[in-house]
Amino acid sequence: MYDLGDPEELDRGPEQDAVRIAVLLNHPDAYTGSMVASYLESTGAEVHTFLAYDGELPDPDEFDGIVGSGAPYSVHGNDPWKEAEAQLYLTTDRPVLGICFSHQLMAEAYGGVSGKAPGYDLERGPTTIHLNGHDPLFKGLAEDITMAEHHVDEVLAVPEDFEVMAYSDNCGVEAMRHRTRPVYSVQFHPEWAAQLEKEGMENQDGNMLLDNFMDMAREARVRREASGLAKVGFAIGDYFRHLFGDR
């Protein structure tokens, strides 16, 4: 399991450099991607958006984390921009969070399968998500959380190097993670927490998940820049965290 540490242990103080996040926009409308960027900026992150659908991608080394947004497209086809984005997910060592379309694209990139499930209908609106075990991405969340959904396709077969982190009554792979790399993806839309509130549901689950991802990205930067002795300390902490769990 890839462990980036406990987000609650990190200093969120203003003296700390802002975490740098690249948000990939996968549709000209950019609605979902813009919501992700807007929320992250509201928390103090330094956010840069890239028109991935037009072939524009970031240099991963310039960022602490990467978020791939949703889109009303199928991930299938030989579109060069999709292939380029998939290659980014395969090669970067930065923490990655793929959402909806990007979740499916990531599955395909790593050898999984996505498409319409048999007898599947459009899933839209608030959905109860069941979490499998503990993970830093879900730090502080209950075993059952509420997230917004809007999709037709889904991940049908998880890549060999991934494990399922969450499921719902209608979708067997609501979230997955790489077993050894900081690569995560979710079928639901955590950035739509504000939309759920507009519908009368007081819910911060999506915001908490995005906060956790930013903390993971910040922690990954601290590890990259740490001295040799500090790296030993991280390794010891990881060992005990593996023994006793993430929360």
Q: Is the pLDDT higher at 32 or at 97?
A: 97
* 150, 151, 178, 189: the active-site residue: 189
Q: What is the mean pLDDT of residues 101-129?
A: 84
* 95 pLDDT more than 90: yes
Q: Answer yes or no: 151 catalytic.
A: no
Give the pLDDT confidence score for residue 209 in this predicted structure.
95
pLDDT tier, 107 (very low <50, low <70, confident <90, very high otherwise): very high
CA-CA-CA-CA torsion for 88, 89, 92, 98, nearest 10 degrees? Answer: 120
Q: Which of 109-113, 176-180, 200-204, 228-232 has the lowest mean pLDDT?
A: 228-232
Task: Give the mean pLDDT of 138-162.
Answer: 91
Based on the residue annotation, tell me whether 76 is a catalytic residue of this protein.
no
Sheet with 20-25, strands from edge to edge, namely 46-51, 20-25, 65-68, 96-99, 183-186, 175-178, 162-167, 123-131, 144-151
**pLDDT above 90: percentage of residues in the chain:** 59
Q: Work out the average pLDDT over 211-223.
A: 92
Among the listed residues 108, 154, 174, 191, the single catalytic one is: 191
Query: Measured between alpha carbons, how far is 83 from 170 in angstroms, rounded to an integer?
Result: 28
191 belongs to the catalytic site: yes
User: What residues contact 82, with CB distance under 8 A and at least 6 apart?
Assistant: 75, 105
Considering 100, 108, 150, 151, which one is annotated as catalytic? 100
Q: Give the mean pLDDT of 31-57.
A: 94
**Residue 98 — pLDDT band, cuts 50, 70, 90?**
very high
Domains in the chain: ranges and CATH: 12-244 (3.40.50.880)
- Cα–Cα distance for residue pair 12/148, rounded to 1 Å: 27
Say whether pLDDT at 35 is over 60: yes
Mean pLDDT confidence for 83-98: 96
Q: Quick check: pTM over 0.85? A: no
Q: What is the DSSP string of 215-245?
A: HHHHHHHHHHH--HHHHHHHHHHHHHHHHH-
